[in-house]
């Protein structure tokens, strides 16, 4: 698939959980040291071997073509996932370029991701519709067919009473005292992650009247010991006791429509599914999973973990494939699912060794800055979600995530471009989809999304030479500066363009003419290159504040019957 290659040798380590805390600490220290060494090692410094195939750049990764009917459901233990990633740092941690990008350094559409905002315009209708096939879900009543088997949020599985089909939904409720907290977060998260490009399930906000609920005689749920028990009216009463009740006696719920296909469990943020022949890139080296750290920081999705993902097997008759979903956004923004988030959320791992040792050494007299920080007043329907004190690069999930740890500056830049693509008006519109009863709650969400977007753009759009969108028309090279366009950096002193003749067969480059210095993001192409089949332009930026922008970006173009087609973008 890829035509710009870095020679790699992979040896994914399979380390088991350690038996003692001391050995865990030793392993962590050794792994961190190896990561630091890897960041300066051969993989990070090897030159790129450039070659373009006739179909480059690829915008579709056809990763659902090979039959995957042999995939078996894998139910991952949340406790094991926590222990494994906290103490064993799973996955390949070397500093290597994302493996599933095309020759323009972009992520093709696939069973994991579909390019939307930041790649093509998205109108307000598409933004608020998201993955949903209906403008609203109408249900005169619900028939409960099973309990909700996972997660902290109270809920059950049901079908619409009297409906012609047997479409299954999962209904989840808000915690008492915090109406709209979890359901509002879930609705906004669904629409936002869909706009970003991820596969998500359909979600609708509904209001449930207890008098319209019926229970299927065969309905069951699993108790705390994992045993099946009959789902009775008493079960329902105990469930609704943990749910927020509206003034009119109804319960607001989020109805999640089950995705098409057969459930295959969850995906990990490291390694591959060994029973899926289409899953060839280690997950920690997929850009859309690495850069998900940027999006998680934006909306404080601190429980970004394997258990909040979903794999579905689509197709039958000897031609099946797996589609990968981001799933369960009830604990984002200021929601902790069963109540508002704590001060630790997004600021520290659940187990943070260095912090714990410092607290112990000072007999509890020292506390991290987030624990000493004054929390500003917040709306009970939103929780403590603001831009106050938000430092994108310092954000943490609840426990380590292999893909997040592998995020490089180019991955973060890719993600930040998508965050910066949302306008103020679009974010205000998204906040309104939480359907909060108090406009103050909507305003808090909108202000937080806008403020955190701006800080993400400032932190990660400036981390690499931010040149994008090359074109070559009428003998002139034009490109864009993503940081300047997002208004997080001033215009540079100059751009310096070095044209090169490029031989696609041998990979050789030859300078043509002297460097061209320009104050705007465009430059003329030398006339002697007009008939070449391939040309290249190395562009670097002179900026007094961002001296690292002197690292050039190489643009490659192929001449065809229609003109010059951009086929390559390499950040050197």
Query: Which tens digits make up the pLDDT trace of 149-208?
Result: 666 778 999 999 988 888 999 999 999 999 999 999 999 999 999 999 999 999 999 999
Q: Which helix (H) or strand (E) holds 206?
A: strand 203-208
Q: Give, in order, the Cα–Cα distances in Å from 170 to each of 74, 173, 211, 325, 328.
A: 20, 10, 19, 16, 11
**Contact by Cβ (8 Å): 274, 292:** no
Q: What's the pLDDT at 472?
A: 97
Cα 423 from Cα 124, distance rounded (Å): 11
Q: What's the pLDDT at 374?
A: 78
**Residue 266 phi/psi, 5° resolution?**
-120, 170
CATH number of 126-259: 3.30.1010
Kindly state the average pLDDT of the residues 28-54: 48
* pLDDT band of 520, cuts 50, 70, 90: very high
Kindly state the average pLDDT of the residues 335-359: 86
pLDDT per residue over 437-452, tens digit each?
A: 999 999 999 999 999 9
Cα 440 from Cα 466, distance rounded (Å): 37
Closest among 185, 205, 166 to 300, alpha carbons compared: 185
pLDDT per residue over 269-311, tens digit each?
A: 999 999 999 999 999 999 999 999 999 999 999 999 999 999 9
What's the gap between Cα 72 and its chain centre? 25
What does DSSP assign to residue 341? P
Cα 482 from Cα 465, distance rounded (Å): 9
What does DSSP assign to residue 429? H
Cα 191 from Cα 122, distance rounded (Å): 12
Q: What's the pLDDT at 227?
A: 86
Partner residues linked to 213 by β-bridges = 142
Kindly state the average pLDDT of the residues 350-364: 80
**Domain map of the chain by residue range?**
4-118+265-460, 126-259, 467-571
Kindly state the average pLDDT of the residues 221-225: 84
Q: What's the pLDDT at 153?
A: 79
Q: What's the pLDDT at 48?
A: 62
- Considering the chain, what is the average pLDDT of its residues? 88
**pLDDT exceeds 50 at position 49:** yes
pLDDT per residue over 228-274, tens digit each?
A: 899 999 999 999 999 999 999 999 999 999 999 999 999 999 999 99
Kindly state the average pLDDT of the residues 393-404: 94
The mean-pLDDT minimum among 40-44, 125-129, 195-199 falls in 40-44
**Contact by Cβ (8 Å): 69, 381:** no
By CB neighbour count within 10 A (0-12 exposed, 13-18 middle, 19+ buried), where does 107 fall?
buried
310 token code pair: 């979903």
51 token code pair: 């070659």
The verdict on domain 467-571 having CATH code 2.60.40 is yes
Cα 448 from Cα 279, distance rounded (Å): 36
């Amino acid at each position: 698939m890829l035509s710009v290659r870095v020679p790699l040798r992979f040896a994914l380590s399979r380390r088991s959980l350690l038996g003692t805390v001391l050995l865990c600490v030793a392993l962590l220290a050794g792994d961190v040291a190896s990561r630091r060494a890897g960041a300066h090692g051969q993989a990070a410094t090897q030159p790129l071997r450039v070659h373009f195939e006739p179909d480059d750049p690829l915008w579709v990764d056809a990763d659902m073509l090979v039959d995957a009917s042999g995939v078996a459901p894998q139910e991952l233990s949340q406790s094991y996932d926590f222990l494994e990633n906290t103490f064993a740092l799973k996955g390949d941690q070397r500093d290597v370029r994302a493996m599933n990008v095309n020759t323009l350094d972009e992520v093709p559409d696939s069973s994991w991701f579909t390019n939307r905002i930041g790649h093509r315009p998205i109108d307000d209708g598409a933004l608020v519709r998201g993955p949903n096939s209906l403008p609203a879900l109408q249900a005169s009543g619900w028939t409960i067919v099973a309990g909700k088997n996972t997660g902290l949020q109270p809920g059950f599985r049901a079908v619409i009473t009297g409906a012609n089909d047997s479409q299954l939904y999962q209904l989840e409720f808000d915690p008492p005292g915090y109406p709209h907290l979890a359901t509002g977060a879930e609705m906004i998260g669904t629409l936002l992650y869909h706009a970003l490009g991820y596969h998500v399930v359909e979600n609708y906000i509904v209001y449930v009247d207890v008098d319209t609920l019926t229970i299927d005689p065969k309905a069951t749920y699993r108790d705390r010991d994992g045993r099946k028990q009959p789902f009775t009216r008493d079960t329902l009463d105990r469930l609704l006791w943990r749910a927020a009740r509206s003034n009119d006696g109804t319960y607001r719920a989020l109805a999640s429509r089950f995705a098409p296909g057969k459930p295959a469990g969850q995906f990990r943020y490291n390694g591959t599914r060994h029973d899926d022949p289409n899953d060839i890139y280690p997950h920690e080296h997929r850009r859309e999973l690495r850069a998900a750290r940027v999006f998680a920081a934006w909306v404080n999705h601190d429980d970004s973990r394997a258990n909040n993902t979903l794999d579905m097997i689509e197709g039958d008759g000897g031609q099946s494939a797996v589609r990968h979903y981001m799933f369960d956004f009830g604990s984002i923004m200021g929601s902790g699912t069963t109540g508002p988030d704590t001060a630790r959320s997004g600021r520290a791992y659940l187990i943070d060794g260095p912090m714990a040792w410092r607290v112990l050494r000072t007999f509890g007299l020292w506390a991290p800055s987030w624990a000493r920080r004054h929390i500003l007043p917040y709306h009970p329907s939103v929780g403590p979600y603001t831009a106050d004190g938000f430092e994108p690069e310092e954000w943490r999930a609840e426990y380590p995530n292999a893909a997040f740890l592998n995020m490089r500056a180019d991955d973060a830049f890719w993600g930040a471009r998508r965050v910066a693509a949302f306008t103020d008006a679009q974010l205000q519109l998204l906040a309104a989809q939480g359907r909060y009863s108090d406009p103050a709650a909507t305003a808090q969400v909108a202000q937080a999304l806008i403020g955190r977007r701006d800080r993400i753009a400032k932190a990660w759009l400036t981390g690499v030479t931010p040149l994008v969108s090359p074109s070559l028309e009428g003998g002139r090279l034009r490109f864009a500066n993503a940081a300047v366009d997002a208004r997080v950096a001033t215009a540079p002193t100059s751009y310096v363009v070095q044209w090169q003749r490029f031989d696609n067969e041998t990979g050789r480059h030859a300078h043509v003419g002297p460097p061209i210095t320009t104050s705007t993001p465009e430059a003329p192409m030398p006339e002697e290159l007009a008939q070449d089949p391939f040309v290249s332009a190395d562009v670097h930026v002179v900026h007094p504040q961002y001296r690292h922008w002197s690292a050039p970006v190489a643009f490659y173009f192929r001449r065809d019957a229609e003109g010059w087609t951009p086929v390559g973008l390499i950040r050197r």
